[in-house]
Amino acid sequence: MAGLEVVVRPMIFPGIRPAPRPSVVPAEADPEKGLVVIRGASGKTIDLPYSFSASFTVTYAPKEKQRKVDLARVYQKTPQGEVNRDNYVDIEAANRITMQQTGGKVDYLYQPIQASDNVEILRKNIVKQAKDS
């Protein structure tokens, strides 16, 4: 049997073969499927509400512009009620103070000092201007 040949084929096991490719999904029949469609009931424009609010406050410290004072001399009064004219102090008592504020000028009025047995008024209504005005 000289003409007999033996053919050997390698055996391929199923685990080594590559996985089959996934099949391509055909396109949807409805062309609008998967698309966003905006529909409305009327021809009115769509108005989205928008609101913005801001506020701030600026406050300035009031500044004194003018002061009207009375100059008085106050004498010491002893516990017995006697007035010691050798011991005294001179004071300025404010009658009116004019302040500059945010809204404009404001006057503050005070009760004038009254003369008594131990208070002597030397001068009335002395006007003093603020140094920066």
Q: Encode pLDDT of 71-102 as tens digits.
A: 999 999 999 989 999 999 999 999 999 999 88
Find, among 75, 67, 59, the residue nearest to 92 by Cα. Answer: 67
- All structural domains of the chain with their residue ranges: 68-126
Provide the mean pLDDT of the chain. Answer: 82
Q: Encode pLDDT of 16-52 as tens digits.
A: 666 777 776 665 666 666 676 677 666 667 677 888 8
Q: How far apart are CA 121 and CA 90, in angstroms?
A: 10
CB 53 within 8 A of CB 72: no
Q: 113 pLDDT exceeds 80?
A: yes
Residue matched to tokens 């996934």 = 22
Q: What is the pLDDT of residue 17?
A: 65
